[in-house]
Amino acid sequence: MTQEIKQSAPPIKWKLNWASVDTVLLDMDGTLLDKHFDDFFWEHYVPEIYAEKNDLTVIEARKKLLASYKKIEGRLEWTDLDYWSNELNLDIPALKVKIDHLVQVHPYVIDFLQYCRRIGKAVHLVTNAHSKTLEIKMRKTLIGEYFDRIVCSQEVGMAKEEPLFWERLEKILYYDKNRTLLADDTEKVLHSAREYGMGLLVFVARPSSRSPVTFSKEFPSIVYFKELIE
């Protein structure tokens, strides 16, 4: 099936010069992994369970939960499974495991990771995901072996949407920000990295297999990581 592409913003013409890159930083959900799992989990599965437990209709539960999500979007609590388990009185990690068959790696991601290793680049996974989410997804996908280091925002102490995040990350990973490539499916994250001074920023325009491709108006975009393999 051909993925629908929105025509409102054509992709910025751009070609990566791998000679200018020493380090590759990669987001997880929506970038390497299909965001359909997360969208379905938070927007459909959790509201269904919450509705049943609290004698609500699914529509009522979804409306209430989406409002709760929105209030803390972009903060550490948004991805904190312990926070949501306490807030909703549900075992969120256990619920994730129940539908972990929906966790999928995007096409060409493994090829790209292998390529980065083959040409000698340092490769790090940098994610806002909670450590319990990370454990579930690494166990399911087995992509952890391709990374030199995996860093969760919990370890840094703030979300990637904050420019200070990248300053703190630099002290953890010791990279040269001018020779570092960051790929992420969230423009707000790329904005914060740009404010910090990150050299090479790439927007992933197809975070979910169930959503249309949408190119960024500000950043070079890719649909598949094969576009970065020479």
pTM of this prediction?
0.92
Give me the residue spans of the domains in the chain.
18-34+103-228, 37-101
82-111 per-position pLDDT tens digit: 999 999 999 999 999 999 999 999 999 999
pLDDT value for 146: 97
Mean pLDDT of 15-35: 97
Provide the CATH number for the domain formed by 18-34+103-228 in this structure. Answer: 3.40.50.1000
- What local confidence, expressed as pLDDT, does residue 1 receive? 36
Tens-digit pLDDT profile for residues 32-89: 999 999 999 999 999 999 999 999 999 999 999 999 999 988 788 889 999 999 999 9
Question: Is residue 6's pLDDT more than 90?
Answer: no
Q: In the predicted model, what is the mean pLDDT of the chain?
A: 93
| pLDDT value of position 8 | 52
The two structure tokens encoding residue 197: 């001074």
